[in-house]
Structure 1
Amino acid sequence: MQFPSLKSTLVAAAALACAAGALAQEQIVKIGHSGPLSGPNTFAGRDNDNGVRLAIEELNARKISVGGKTLKFELVSEDDQCDAKTGVAVAQKFVDSGVRYVMGPYCSGVTIPASREYDKGGVMVSTVGTNPKITQAGYKNLFRIVASDVQAGASMATYAANVLKAKKVAVIDDRTAFGQGLADEFAKEAQKLGMTVAGREFTTDKATDFMAILTNIKAKQPEAIFYGGYAPQAAPMARQIKQLGINAKLLGGDTLCSPEMPKLGGDAVNGVVYCAYAGMLMESDAGARAFQDKFKKRFNQAPDVYGPFYYDQVMNIGEAMQRSGSIDVNKVGAYMHQHTYKGVMGEYAYDDKGNRVKAPVVVMTFEGGKAKPLASY
């Protein structure tokens, strides 16, 4: 039997000591992502996941130091399926496993119950859920990183009244917290602006056949139909509007601005679908265009609606940690409330409830299968 020499033993011990020293100088920060990684909204969940992933890669490359330790960010992604019960289970799993920063949930119906668990567990939540109820609970470390339904719904109603010159509108929603909340805000503002809400119909976020609902609406002859819901339903709805010969525009929130709309709806969306996008005009900003190129190079596809917002907020959190000199959720959250951050999608500043202040909204349509910006609010 050959025993190792004293020299080789000392070298091995020194190597282990160096490795242990390196680990001691590193602080792991887990960033959770809760979103629909399966089901009809998978495209959105994957896009959001990619936005978080890209930011984490860039933060790790910067080697941010806090308290003498280099931060190493790790992504922990979970599929909440846009289902409230599943989303709450994901929240409990994140809390139990020491995740203190969560991006998501995507769906308002998941965000509302899950945010209670996150708050109890001392977790910061950064969501694109737009229902006004989300920030009314008063959780101090919850941030809405896009415009709310109040802003998006009102902007779409203003455009319908002032630009499309609509006098009569119909409203459909999918009964989700997001869809119903957005439709309610649109209807409220439409009536304020003197438009008549000629019909209110309901469907689900799993439906694909809207012929009965649309036939009822056709008889009322509205100039516009507002749909509160998601792209997987809005696209076949646009096809069926065309099929029934309904001469009305299909309006909606930012979920209808998704590149999935022309993929699923084909020519039926061109010049018919109008959406209120809770963002800025990326094509008019050099930094945003550069981000699009970087995103496409990394993931071999352009960003969808929310990926850039998720990217911005993770970068915002990283900067807040560095500048506050802490990874403590309360200290990082306090810094973010007190300071603005300039990201790809504009300036991020938050009110005391966590709503994004002066969140930009852009009204868009589709032309030749591509989104075309029309107005900003």
Structure 2
Amino acid sequence: MSYQLGRAPSRYYHPLKRLFATALVMATVSSARADSVVVIGYAGALTGPQAHLGKDIEHGIRLAIDEINASHPVIAGTPTTFRLDAQDDAGDPRIATLIAQRFIDAGVNAVVGHQSSGTSIVVARLYAAANIAEITPSATNPQFTKLGYRTTFRLLANDNFLGTAVSRYVIDTMHIRRVAVIDDQTAYGQGLADVFVDATRRAGGTIVAREYTTDKAVDFNSSLTLFKGKRPEAIFFGGVDAQAGPMLRQMKKLGVTAPMLGGDGLCTRELARLAGDALAGNLYCADGGLSLASMPGGPSFERKFHAKFGEHVQLYAPYAYDAMMAVYYAIVRAQSANPAKIVDALRSVQFQGVTGQISFDDAGDLRMPAATISTFREHKKVTLLEIKR
């Protein structure tokens, strides 16, 4: 038996009326669904030499969203679904700016990212003007949270903490005093190198030479030859694993025996493949948090991550997961997915994440950052020292 919408049963129901009623119901359902979808933007290098890090972050966010959706969240009385809009900015500030504007125009509720310091910093003003939270799981340049915007948040230690941690380890534990420095001139690499240089000089160390390259370079022989003549006890590289791998191989070929030092961009699984047998005992790096094994939820996160994606955590996935959970808890706290209310709620959100205790200071940095000094033995990452504020 057929029924007309809003009337008692009738023996006769015209097909056009049936069609109208069906269309009305579908339109109502579609509208309800649209109102209950929270869209999270993510932008990172999903192609190119840093794609393994960009995908690592994307997978961390997706794992969090899948778990959130599996819990069937209800916000302000409405069943809500979370969706990720992942875009490839290739680590290029110009592309990142276009993507940020696209996110703003599309009305995303919050942004996890961007991946690099250079891209995160350049788009921060756009998100601030739109009052959309920009919460990065990977950009470590201190400038990002010094811009004065209420919308910027960071899920790991910044370069002031990391660069100083490496310098202290070099001076106090390795008893090294003479260091050569090279950086890739990005906001991340050069910023980290500057902090390391200043901290090392203050501690009584000497910078015997400083060279510059780019984040696209693959030939470092000229700088390494210069360094060899200066006889440094270590070489600090401000950059990421895509360049550190070839650089380590060229150091070995040139007979440069000084170990390489660096930040979190070097502390990846991928570096073992890129550097090959040039890696063993020749690298000391600092992560912007605890080691995966020491994170409160690290071991279980690694198991879930590997089961879902068939890959091991590279570096930033746990921070990306916690960044997404911070946004979710802010929405729950505010009982609203309005971007401005998410920003306000993030200021007071507190929870135990995979990576540690998550809460933000007035600048948007973690209140309790940590760093881990690591090396590689038999191509496996080994923790040497964990530092907490």
TM-score above 0.5, yes or no: yes
Q: Which amino acid aligns with 2:325?
A: M
CA positional deviation for 1:281: 2.2
Instruction: Give the equivalent residue in structure 2 for 1:126.
Output: 135
Extract unaligned runs of 5+ from structure 2.
Answer: 1-10
CA distance 1:77–1:245, shift in 2 (3 Å): same
Are 1:46 and 2:55 counterparts? yes
Q: Secondary structure at the match of 2:364?
A: coil
Instruction: Give the equivalent residue in structure 2 for 1:101.
Output: 110
Q: How far apart are the structure 2 equivalents of 1:100 and 1:322?
A: 13
Q: How far apart are the structure 2 equivalents of 1:6 and 1:37?
A: 58
Are 1:273 and 2:293 counterparts? no
Are 1:254 and 2:264 counterparts? yes
CA positional deviation for 1:171: 0.7
Extract unaligned runs of 5+ from structure 1.
Answer: none
Q: Deviations over 1:165-209 (max 9, x none)?
A: 101011100011110000000001011111101111100101111
Instruction: Give the equivalent residue in structure 2 for 1:222.
Output: 232
CA distance 1:18–1:83, shift in 2 (3 Å): closer
CA distance 1:185–1:15, shift in 2 (3 Å): same
- Aligned residue pairs: how many? 374
Selected match of 1:149 from 130, 135, 159? 159
Runs of 4+ aligned residues of structure 1 deviating over 4 Å after TM superposition are 5-16
1:139-218 equivalences under 5 Å are: 139-218=149-228
Q: How far apart are the structure 1 equivalents of 2:297 and 2:352?
A: 11
Selected match of 1:114 from 119, 123, 128? 123
Instruction: Give the equivalent residue in structure 1 for 2:4.
Output: none
Selected match of 1:359 from 360, 369, 375? 369
Deviates more, 1:312-321 or 1:197-206: 312-321
Q: Secondary structure at the match of 1:190?
A: helix
Selected match of 2:32 from 21, 24, 30? 24
Q: Which amino acid aligns with 1:345?
A: T
Contact 2:295 2:355 survives alignment (8 Å):
no
Are 1:234 and 2:228 counterparts? no
Contact 1:100 1:122 survives alignment (8 Å):
no
Q: Which amino acid aligns with 2:292?
A: M
Q: How far apart are the structure 2 equivalents of 1:18 and 1:293?
A: 41
CA positional deviation for 1:15: 10
Instruction: Give the equivalent residue in structure 2 for 1:60.
Output: 69
Selected match of 2:383 from 359, 363, 373? 373
Identity percentage of aligned residues: 38
Q: Deviations over 1:105-155 (max 9, x none)?
A: 111111111111111122110112111111111110110111111011000
Q: Secondary structure at the match of 1:338?
A: coil
Are 1:296 and 2:296 counterparts? no
Q: How far apart are the structure 2 equivalents of 1:8 and 1:201?
A: 81
Q: Which amino acid aligns with 2:121?
A: I
Selected match of 1:84 from 93, 106, 109? 93
CA positional deviation for 1:100: 2.7
Contact 2:133 2:342 survives alignment (8 Å):
no
CA positional deviation for 1:16: 6.9
Q: Which amino acid aligns with 1:105?
A: H
1:68-79 equivalences under 5 Å are: 68-79=77-88
CA positional deviation for 1:68: 1.2
Contact 2:326 2:349 survives alignment (8 Å):
no
Q: Secondary structure at the match of 2:157?
A: coil
Q: How far apart are the structure 1 equivalents of 2:270 and 2:204?
A: 33
CA distance 1:61–1:19, shift in 2 (3 Å): farther
CA positional deviation for 1:355: 1.3
Contact 2:329 2:349 survives alignment (8 Å):
no
Q: How far apart are the structure 2 equivalents of 1:312 and 1:239?
A: 35
Q: Which amino acid aligns with 2:50?
A: N
Q: Deviations over 1:332-366 (max 9, x none)?
A: 22222223221111111211111112211000111
Q: How far apart are the structure 1 equivalents of 2:45 and 2:74?
A: 33
Selected match of 1:135 from 137, 145, 148? 145
Q: When the two structures are superposed, what TM-score results if normalisation uses the length of structure 2?
A: 0.91
Contact 1:238 1:265 survives alignment (8 Å):
yes
Are 1:244 and 2:221 counterparts? no
Instruction: Give the equivalent residue in structure 2 for 1:284.
Output: 294
Contact 1:28 1:71 survives alignment (8 Å):
yes
Instruction: Give the equivalent residue in structure 1 for 2:3.
Output: none
